Amino acid sequence: MGIDLGDLNESLGAFESALSSGKVAIRISEPEVKVVLVALDGTTQDDTCVAIAVDLARRLHARLVVTAGMKGELEDELRTRVNRVVQVLTSGESHIQIEAAFGAGATPARQILALAAKERAGLIVVSAPYLYEYEGFGDESLSGPIDCLLAESSVPLLLIREPIENGDVCFSRLFMPMTVHTVGLGEAAGLAFKFLAEGGHIELFAVADQQALEEADAVLGEAARRTPEELLRAEQSQIGGVVSALQHRAARTGVDVRVDVAVARTLKPVLDRIHESPCIVALALPRDRTSGQFHRVHDLALGSRYPVLFAPF
């Protein structure tokens, strides 16, 4: 039996009330990023990838490593491009340590992962071109290499979707969608605080996901003997714990945190909110590729025109 959230106003009221009582303790991570690894692929997003990686490395006082996942006839061209980018950056006034390096592996994704491990990268910046209208998003692939990185990387990933003229603008708005049955938000929140530009804000969009609740109800079954209200209350308290933790961190750091809530059965309202203005979308990335949460995160990445930051957990 599925969970009936009832009247929309009652659902919103119950969801919002959970943000102020009965919270589950959430710990926001303190990520350390000493090396930023940017991987080129020869697409129009390369310039955006490099610009954003340079900006992050400068603000984080990190070393920048430029590479490319290479295979086949484009290998020489990409290697030349990587070396040229490094030459241009080092001849300018970037004020950061920059170098070119290449990993070993049978596929581009394996090469990137091997190099990330060798260099102890704290962030991987890669492109995943936006190729279709988000109204029709589904199970499409972000590309073979990107799907492999999402499935296997233990390092946070920043996916560049459409080319961006001014990447700095995106880092002034860190957008965090939160749905029930979401764990790993502490890692995503930690990265959001870490990467937020000075004077920027973090925007939390908490969604009471009817589909996720119904899936949870089906998994628990009759043996669990929890009423729909009990299940919803437990999930709400988890979301409330994230909000509470972020508000405490915001008060300590002076960062502006904004919270909004909604009830929805699809991800389209989340994508509509994402596209209101340039942003970085911060998501917790589960390791289990078969989970409903992984597919929801994957669909959000597919639908976003703006960069997507993944925090593996």
Q: Note the CATH number of domain 32-155.
A: 3.40.50.620
At residue 182, the pLDDT reads 60
Q: Which residue bears the tokens 């919103």?
A: 12
Q: Which residue bears the tokens 């959230």?
A: 5
Rounded to whole angstroms, the Cα distance separating 276 from 50 reads: 25
Q: Which structure tokens are listed for 283?
A: 């998501």
Would you state the torsion angle of the CA atoms of residues 275, 279, 280, 284, taken in this order, to the nearest 10 degrees?
-50
Rounded to whole angstroms, the Cα distance separating 313 from 310 reads: 10
R_g over Cα of the chain: 20
Domain map (residue ranges) of the chain: 1-27+165-306, 32-155
Whether the predicted pLDDT of 7 surpasses 50: no
Least confident residue range of 81-90, 107-116, 212-221 = 212-221
Of 181, 198, 202, 308, which is closest to residue 249 (Cα–Cα)?
A: 202
One fold for both 1-27+165-306 and 32-155?
Answer: yes
Whether the predicted pLDDT of 81 surpasses 70: yes
Whether the predicted pLDDT of 210 surpasses 90: no
Higher local confidence (pLDDT), 117 or 236 = 117
At residue 207, the pLDDT reads 78
Of the options 3.30.1490.440, 3.40.47.10, 3.40.50.1240, 3.40.50.620, the CATH number for the domain spanning 1-27+165-306: 3.40.50.620
At residue 53, the pLDDT reads 96
Contacts of residue 234, Cβ cutoff 8 Å, sequence gap at least 6: 226
Q: Which structure tokens are listed for 69?
A: 């996942």
At residue 292, the pLDDT reads 79
At residue 141, the pLDDT reads 62
pLDDT in tens, 169-179: 999 999 999 87
As a whole number, mean pLDDT of residues 193-210 equals: 87
Task: Output b/e per residue, 63-98; b: 16+ Cβ within 10 A.
Answer: bbbbbbbbbeeeeeebbebbeebbeebeeeeeebeb
Of 303, 308, 299, 307, which is closest to residue 139 (Cα–Cα)?
A: 299
Whether the predicted pLDDT of 11 surpasses 50: no
Whether the predicted pLDDT of 84 surpasses 50: yes
At residue 265, the pLDDT reads 67
Percent of the chain with pLDDT over 90: 46
